[in-house]
Amino acid sequence: MSYARKNALIATIVWTLVFGGLIALVLGPGVDRFAAPDQPIWRMLTAAIILLGFLLNAWLGWRSKKGKKLGELDERDDAIARRASEVTLIVVAMVVFLTTLTLYETHRGSGAVPIGWLYLLAYGTVALVSLVHAVATLMVDGNGPADG
């Protein structure tokens, strides 16, 4: 297994856990309770989970930089990362677009979306970008050349 594929696999596993944890932390207590002023623990836990994901990304970035110096990563890996970024942009844009439209349609009558949903959209987008990029990297790498 290549160095880049190992990094993508690690990121996929961790960001799947982060994304699932975010969903559980927001939907578990309910979006209203999650955002309640007297319940800051839920928001702190979601921030902590995202922080762990960012620390993982920093470690993977350091590992990739080290891998380039050692010759473990090359132009092919850069091409795969570029193609994965293109896929990530499209997928995340579609998910955010559809989510916001769904929130609008489901809360049109009340005239306001509960703030807990907006927390989930914000934190979820951060986690989704990293998760989709890792999965796209694995898929592009598995499908062969990324340059054409």
For 140, other C-beta atoms within 10 Å of its C-beta total 21
First to last CA, the chain: 22
pLDDT in tens, 10-64: 999 999 999 999 999 999 989 889 889 998 999 999 999 999 999 999 998 888 8
Q: Nearest CA to 145 among 88, 83, 65?
A: 83
Average pLDDT of the residues in 83-101? 96
Helix intervals (H) in the chain: 3-27, 31-35, 40-69, 75-107, 115-142
**Percent of the chain predicted with pLDDT > 90:** 66
Average pLDDT of the residues in 105-134? 93
Asked if 18 contacts 53 with a C-beta cutoff of 8 angstroms, the reply is yes
